[in-house]
Amino acid sequence: MNLTPQQRKLRNEQRQQDASQAMKEHLAHEKAFYDNFRRLKAERQAREAAESRKARSASK
């Protein structure tokens, strides 16, 4: 596949735009994942703390 210098330049620019967009999407998904992970962890810790308090008050 013989490309002219202009075609190569356009192809490389398009590849860079595609890579940039893919990276933005990846980072957005990664942020959403970790935000959800932290939310679920906080909910679990709150639930465990409540269960622990309930168990301590029941044993008294």
Q: In whole angstroms, how far apart are CA 16 and each of 24, 40, 45?
A: 12, 36, 43
Global pTM reads: 0.70
- 42/58: higher pLDDT: 42
| Single-letter amino acid code for the residue at 20 | S
Residue 3 contacts residue 11 (beta carbons within 8 Å) = yes
**pLDDT tens, 16-57?**
999 999 999 999 999 999 999 999 999 999 999 999 999 888
Output phi, psi for 2, to 5 deg.
-95, 115
pLDDT score for 14: 98
pLDDT of residue 55: 86
Return the higher-pLDDT residue of 59 and 54.
Answer: 54
